[in-house]
Amino acid sequence: MNQNRPPASVVVRAAAAALFVAALGALLLAGTGTADLSAADRLHLELRDSDPKADSTIVEAPSEVRLFFSEPPQMHGTSVRLVTEDEELVETTDAVADEEDPRQVFITPGEDVTLEDGTYTVMWRVIAQDGHAQRGEFVFHLVRD
């Protein structure tokens, strides 16, 4: 054994002190962070909810598919697609941001589109204000009877 090694208790105290300093540093950064730091520390944009809801079963064809994000995405980088269980793309409008709450984005099926009963996948892709791309998908089931 290395006789010059400090006693274990000293090592633990030093580690605790280092942790404390690190935690204090993080607190200071959080409290006084510049715009860059707060942007980097912020949670990424996420999908909070949808209508129809993920994994839900609905009994009427939806007039729209609406996604509720945690922050307004950049619309030029946003796409929402509705895909049938046969992997066919449903004709819809482009994704539109809600005028009153731009965190909400929706698509509307084309006027001539009849949605048959089945499982639909909603595939979304957005670019957040911070430039980070996010994507995801969920399904809902349309069962009229």
Site residues for Cu ion per CB under 5 A: 44, 130, 132
Q: Closer to Cu ion at the Cβ: 44 or 53?
A: 44
- Cβ 131 to Cu ion shortest distance, Å: 7
Q: Give 70 or 108: the residue with its C-beta nearer to Cu ion.
A: 70
For the bound state, the minimum distance from the C-beta of residue 89 to Cu ion, rounded and expressed in Å, comes to: 28
Dist. CA 64–CA 57, nearest whole Å: 15
Residue 63 and residue 116 in contact, taking contact as beta carbons nearer than 8 Å? no
Minimal distance, residue 128 CB to Cu ion, in Å: 5
Q: Going by C-beta distance under 8 Å and a sequence separation of 6 or more, which residues neighbour residue 2?
A: none
Distance of closest approach, residue 79 Cβ to Cu ion, in angstroms: 18
Among residues 62, 46, 54, the alpha carbon closest in space to that of 106 is found at 62
Residue number, nearest CB to Cu ion? 132
21: left (phi over 0), alpha (psi -120 to 50) or beta: alpha
User: Which is nearer to Cu ion, 132 or 144 (by Cβ)?
Assistant: 132
Q: Is 132 or 135 the residue whose CB approaches Cu ion more closely? A: 132
